[in-house]
Amino acid sequence: MCGILGYTGDRQASSILLAGLERLEYRGYDSAGIAILDNGNIKIAKNKGRLKVLEDRINAGEEVSGTCGIGHTRWATHGEPSDVNAHPLWSDDMAVVAVHNGIVENYREIRAMLAEHGYTFYSQTDTEAAVKLIDYHYKKEKTPLKAITQAIKEIDGSYCFVLLFRDFPGEVWGARKDLPLIAGQGKGESFLASDVSAILHDTRQVYYLDNMEIVQLKKGNVRFFDVEGYATHKEISEVTWDANAAEKGGFEHFMMKEIHEQARAVKDTFGAVYHSGKIDLTEKGLTDEAIRAVSQIYIIACGSAYHAGAVAQYVIEDLAKIPVRIEMASEFRYRDMPMDRNALAVIISQSGETADTLAAMRRAKENGIKTLAVVNVVGSTIAREADSVFYTMAGPEIAVATTKAYSAQLAACYAMAVKFAHVRGVIDDAECTRLIAEIQGLPEKIDEILDEKGSLEELAGRFVNARNAFYLGRNIDYAVAMEGSLKMKEISYLHSEAIAAGEMKHGPISLIERGMLVAGIMTQKGLYQKTASNMLEAKSRGGFLLVVSSRGCEYLKDDADFVFHVPETDEHFAASLAVIPLQLLGYYVAVARKLDVDKPRNLAKSVTVE
Ligand code: F6R
């Protein structure tokens, strides 16, 4: 996820772009850049690091003068954060310069096609392929509109671009597919932005671009075109939100915004390894030969990443029939256990900086074990030190309590599970195709669950004064219970415990009091009855039963106090759905308690101390 901007008018573009980028920095902050079109020249300033580094370098914009320009704040997906990979990117003769948000899925194919026409590449980004594809068509078609329409028909993925064409002074162009792009209309000036928050200080008159729509900005004049190049008409809208709410996409908290970004995070993470009908992990160091050679897997992580690993343990073991151990990084780093040399250590971390996880990874490496990091932050320490990296595509996560990064970690682990199962001959082609389709179906089902969030908000009101809660489940459902319980306790400060359902009667049951929340997760058909019995044991001691189960599960329908059904999916992937109502419940209880949801007490986003 990146922040992108365009401006044309009478004022100095650089200061407007820098101010707008500051408001977009929550979308990405590993590098920043601007390009200004002035007197037939395009001047570019960009670098790795926070926007402040760029601002200081160009003296708050004074060193790059001109009244038409584009800007970018980056969250790396393809190519590590570096000066070269920072946007804007340009065609070799600087005829076309662009910033980009999103992913060009077929960038390898585009690069290969362009290479045959003499193009060379200087960055590791997917963006450069797109810019040069537009340039390729521009050289033939001679107009920005024709070049863009032609190129976007050939680009797969979700994206938006904002572009300058050197020979079209005073003009900024844009196009979008699946990701937001907003045009703003001021007096004698116009704007483009990936998020309305970036331009709200300058104008509240905006147009929302439709998918595959192209926009042309001139001073105070905005025009739209469809993908065939025909002019379209759009109604202008007045934005009534305040700038603060706009940054959160209209949500009250970043956490809720990120909960709503999960479908996209899952789609993009899986999409990054799914090419031409197949899961391809070769870039992650997992060739078919390497996959066959793995004798066992250690998954090492902390907190929610550990919970994602706990789900993965069940999924990989069951699908690929390979032994998997889930290890807490803080314990693993001090254990002296015999490790199998042919094992693979999978290190899961959103930030890529967690001290215990990093130390545990180093320990695995010292033992000669190959390490694969599943990390969200490109260029983070764990990503740099691991033997190979599988980047999750969640984009920057601002709320301290993770939601979308956890979901993206699950998607990455599912991809590995299915690939391992297929390569090792446990499943055939048809089953592999079926499982892939199930994973691809998850984003839509996640959104379906979010449509029903109102009922959980009402339910949360009941627990404003609650003191304890239990989350029960077996197998994958136990792993989900751990994550649901953590979400509840860390943001609402309601003490909760996750218990493997069969363990409850070995002690914890003595804590159950009248009205205490006992949440049961039931997505694994073969275990419905077992978990239902444990839930009934809780009910007979006064527990308030919340059941989160797959549609079609009839167990406890008459005994539970509240049932939330999630759509059906292959049971291996049900965690991705069952976790959503649990995240929402934790969120709503915290809101009902008037707590600081995004910044819970005593917690930090990145735990870089032991
Ligand atoms: C909980 C949460 C933490 C992190 C843990 C590991 O919502 O976010 O439990 O999962 O601190 O952090 P990373 O994934 O950055 O290694």
pLDDT over threshold 90, residue 276: no
- In the residue annotation, 413 being an active-site residue is answered as no
With CA atoms as reference, report the closest residue to 577 among 477, 487, 491: 477
pLDDT over threshold 90, residue 179: no
Residue 116 CB-density burial (10 A; 0-12 exposed, 13-18 middle, 19+ buried): exposed
- Name the residue with the closest Cα to ligand 1, atom 3: 303
What pLDDT was estimated at residue 341?
92
460 CB within 6 A, ligand 1: no
pLDDT over threshold 70, residue 608: no
| Count of residues making up the chain | 610
What pLDDT was estimated at residue 280?
96
| Residue to probe by mutation, ligand 1, list 254, 304, 385, 605, most atoms within 8 Å of CB | 304
Question: pLDDT tens digit string along 448-491?
Answer: 999 999 999 999 999 999 999 999 999 999 999 999 999 999 99
393 CB within 6 A, ligand 1: no
Do 3-240 and 244-440 share a fold?
no
Q: What is the mean pLDDT of residues 123-131?
A: 95
What pLDDT was estimated at residue 452?
96
What number does the ligand 1 atom closest to the CA of 401 have?
Answer: 7
Q: What is the mean pLDDT of residues 166-191?
A: 94
Give me the percent of the chain exceeding a pLDDT of 90.
84
With CA atoms as reference, report the closest residue to 101 among 376, 396, 402: 396
CA angle 545, 547, 548 (to 5 degrees): 155
What pLDDT was estimated at residue 481?
98
Confidence at 237, pLDDT banded by 50, 70, 90: confident
Residue 41 CB-density burial (10 A; 0-12 exposed, 13-18 middle, 19+ buried): exposed
Question: pLDDT tens digit string along 30-72?
Answer: 899 999 999 999 999 999 998 999 999 998 888 899 999 999 9
Question: pLDDT tens digit string along 282-317?
Answer: 999 999 999 999 999 999 999 999 999 999 999 999
Question: pLDDT tens digit string along 112-123?
Answer: 999 999 999 999
357 CB within 6 A, ligand 1: yes
Domain residue ranges in the chain = 3-240, 244-440, 450-596
What number does the ligand 1 atom closest to the CA of 304 have?
Answer: 10
| Residue to probe by mutation, ligand 1, list 262, 326, 351, 486, most atoms within 8 Å of CB | 351
- Name the residue with the closest Cα to ligand 1, atom 16: 349
What pLDDT was estimated at residue 402?
97
Q: Which residue has the higher pLDDT, 62 or 151?
A: 151
What pLDDT was estimated at residue 304?
98
Q: Spell out the CATH class of 244-440.
A: alpha beta
User: How many angstroms separate the alpha carbon of residue 609 from the centre of ligand 1?
Assistant: 13
- In the residue annotation, 605 being an active-site residue is answered as yes
Residue 120 CB-density burial (10 A; 0-12 exposed, 13-18 middle, 19+ buried): exposed
User: How many angstroms separate the alpha carbon of residue 603 from the centre of ligand 1?
Assistant: 10
Give me the percent of the chain exceeding a pLDDT of 70.
99
What pLDDT was estimated at residue 238?
85
| Residue to probe by mutation, ligand 1, list 327, 353, 354, most atoms within 8 Å of CB | 354
304 CB within 6 A, ligand 1: yes
Helix%, strand%, coil% for the chain, nearest 5: 40, 25, 35
- The residues, any chain, with a CB within 8 Å of residue 564's CB and separated by 6 or more, are 452, 455, 456, 546, 547, 548, 549, 581
What pLDDT was estimated at residue 244?
66
pLDDT over threshold 90, residue 127: yes
Distance CA 70, CA 67 (A): 10
Residue 21 structure tokens: 């980028």
302 CB within 6 A, ligand 1: yes
What pLDDT was estimated at residue 274?
95
What pLDDT was estimated at residue 246?
67
| 389, containing H or E segment | strand 388-391
243 CB within 6 A, ligand 1: no
What pLDDT was estimated at residue 393?
92
User: How many angstroms separate the alpha carbon of residue 303 from the centre of ligand 1?
Assistant: 5
- DSSP assignment of 156-171: -EEEEEEEEETTSTT-
359 CB within 6 A, ligand 1: no
401 CB within 6 A, ligand 1: yes
Directed axis angle between helix 575-592 and helix 404-423, to 10°?
A: 170
User: How many angstroms separate the alpha carbon of residue 153 from the centre of ligand 1?
Assistant: 39
> Which ranges of 272-302 would DSSP assign to H, the alpha helix?
288-293
Q: What is the mean pLDDT of residues 267-271?
A: 95
CA Rg value for the chain: 25
Distance CA 312, CA 416 (A): 9
Confidence at 83, pLDDT banded by 50, 70, 90: very high
Determine which one of 139, 234, 365, 605 is catalytic: 605
CATH for the stretch 3-240: 3.60.20.10
User: How many angstroms separate the alpha carbon of residue 466 from the centre of ligand 1?
Assistant: 25
Helix (H, G, I), strand (E, B) or coil at 537: helix
Contact 161, 109 (CB under 8 A): no
With CA atoms as reference, report the closest residue to 294 among 380, 183, 195, 416: 416
With CA atoms as reference, report the closest residue to 478 among 522, 445, 441: 522
Q: What is the mean pLDDT of residues 578-593?
A: 98
What pLDDT was estimated at residue 247?
76
Give me the chain's average pLDDT, please: 94
- Name the residue with the closest Cα to ligand 1, atom 5: 303
Q: Helices then strands (H, E): number in the chain?
A: 19, 27
Is the domain defined by 450-596 classed in CATH 3.40.50.10490? yes
Distance CA 223, CA 217 (A): 7
Quote the pTM value.
0.82
Distance CA 193, CA 396 (A): 18
